[in-house]
């Protein structure tokens, strides 16, 4: 679906504009939204707007890196919107063409952020005459970046849960969740870092006067991306710390288990051996006929067992 909004010369926002009889000069600026366009509708990018073939190719093909490309009379932006569905992050491209008095947004999937801004046009504020195509661009971009935060906070909550392990999950499961969280952070970084670099380029190029005019607004988005990038990096470090902590505790526990095994074996192996000796059936074994042979044997075994126990205790194996 292609929907078009425009601001008329007397600062009214109208939405009933049709792509086929679009007169761009009748409006101060227009916003054309390619919302899940059909193949037929996509052709308007070329036939109506004459965008650069490489930009159109980037619209059609699979996920690009966030970036901007300057072409002769328009600039092309690739951005990523991220949603979480059933514990998986889904990235969707939202692309923009900005030029003299127009903005074209393009997205194969429905975009919550674009819809929100589209609806907000119905209730324009008093200073609506200051609006232009870069205002629309800012509003959508701001929403897209704001929507990264809940995803990251959710990952932080997961890490907290893993670290405290209040639900007493098995190590196996915890390691798996940790791995998934690490992976999601890696995945997020691949959107956040190029988005941050994109905003940096937008703020430092002199070819986008719409950005220059409201520099503090776009700098506010850049700010958020810096914060996000910091959070991703330090959460990745935190996952590594948690894993190393688990591993060292695990190795320590293994050590203790092995100590128990060794103590048990060390105490009972010699005792059982002595019992075995007096279980032998030799005809001539003098001790067997002694009056207190049995009790002497028991005594020797008790002394042996207790000595070994004390020796291990003294060696500090019970700590």
Binding mask 64-83 for a copy of itself (x = CB under 8 A): xx-x-xxx------------
Residue 306 interacting with a copy of itself (CB under 8 A): no
Q: How far is the CB of 171 from Mg ion (least distance, A)?
A: 27
Contact 213, 191 (CB under 8 A): no
Residue 272 interacting with a copy of itself (CB under 8 A): yes
Residue 92 interacting with Mg ion (CB under 5 A): no
In whole angstroms, what is the distance from residue 14 CA to residue 27 CA?
Answer: 10
Residue 204 interacting with a copy of itself (CB under 8 A): no
Contact 91, 158 (CB under 8 A): no
In whole angstroms, what is the distance from residue 81 CA to residue 137 CA?
Answer: 14
Residue 283 interacting with a copy of itself (CB under 8 A): yes
CB burial of residue 288 (10 Å; 0-12, 13-18, 19+): middle
Q: Candidates 7-15, 112-120, 129-137, 259-267 — which segment interacts with a copy of itself by CB under 8 A? A: 259-267
Contact 198, 68 (CB under 8 A): yes
Binding mask 6-25 for a copy of itself (x = CB under 8 A): --------------------
Contact 104, 117 (CB under 8 A): no
Q: Candidates 12-20, 138-146, 154-162, 303-311 — which segment interacts with Mg ion by CB under 5 A? A: 138-146
Q: How far is the CB of 75 from a copy of itself (least distance, A)?
A: 11
Residue among 112, 80, 115 at smallest CA distance from 194: 80
Among 46, 129, 146, 244, interactor with Mg ion by CB under 5 A: 146
Q: How far is the CB of 113 from a copy of itself (least distance, A)?
A: 19
**210-237 as b/e: b if 16+ CB within 10 A:** bbeebeebbeebbebbeebbebbeebbe
**Sign of the torsion formed by the C-alpha atoms of 260, 262, 265 and 266:** negative
With CB under 8 A as the rule, give the number of residues binding a copy of itself. Answer: 87
Contact 95, 105 (CB under 8 A): yes
Residue 160 interacting with a copy of itself (CB under 8 A): no
DSSP string for 289-300: HSTTHHHHHHHH
Q: Candidates 22-30, 63-71, 100-108, 113-121 — which segment interacts with a copy of itself by CB under 8 A? A: 63-71
Q: How far is the CB of 16 from a copy of itself (least distance, A)?
A: 32
Residue 270 interacting with a copy of itself (CB under 8 A): yes
Looking only at residues 213 through 242 of this chain, which bind Mg ion when binding is defined by CB under 5 A? 219-220, 230, 233-234
Binding site for Mg ion (CB under 5 A): 58-59, 93, 142, 146, 219-220, 230, 233-234
């Amino acid at each position: 679906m292609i929907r078009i909004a425009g601001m008329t010369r007397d600062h009214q926002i109208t939405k009933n504009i049709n792509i086929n009889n679009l007169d761009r000069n009748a409006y101060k600026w227009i916003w054309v939204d390619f919302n899940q366009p059909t193949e037929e509708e996509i052709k308007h990018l070329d036939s109506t707007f004459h965008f650069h073939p490489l930009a159109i190719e980037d619209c059609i093909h699979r996920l690009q890196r966030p970036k901007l490309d300057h072409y002769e009379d328009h600039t092309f932006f690739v951005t990523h919107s991220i949603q979480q569905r059933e514990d998986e992050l889904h990235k969707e491209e939202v692309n923009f063409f900005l030029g003299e008095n127009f903005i074209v947004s393009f997205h194969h999937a429905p975009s919550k952020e674009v819809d929100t801004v589209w609806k907000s046009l119905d209730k324009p504020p008093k200073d609506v005459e200051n609006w232009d195509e870069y205002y629309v661009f800012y509003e959508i971009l701001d929403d897209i970046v704001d929507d990264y935060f809940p995803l990251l906070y959710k990952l932080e909550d997961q890490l907290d849960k893993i670290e405290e392990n209040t639900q007493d999950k098995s190590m196996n499961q915890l390691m798996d969740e940790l791995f998934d969280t690490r992976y999601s952070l890696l995945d997020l970084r691949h959107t956040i870092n190029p988005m941050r670099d994109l905003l940096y380029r937008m703020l430092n190029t002199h070819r986008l006067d719409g950005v220059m005019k409201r520099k503090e607004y776009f700098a506010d988005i850049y700010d958020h991306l810096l914060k996000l990038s910091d959070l991703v990096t330090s959460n990745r470090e935190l996952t590594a710390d948690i894993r190393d902590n688990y591993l060292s505790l695990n190795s320590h526990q293994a050590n203790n288990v092995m100590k128990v095994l060794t103590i048990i074996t060390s105490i009972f192996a010699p005792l059982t051996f002595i019992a075995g000796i007096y279980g032998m059936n030799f005809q001539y074994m003098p001790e067997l006929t002694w009056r207190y042979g049995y009790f002497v044997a028991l005594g020797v075994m008790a002394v042996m067992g207790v000595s070994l126990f004390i020796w291990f205790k003294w060696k500090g194996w019970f700590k």
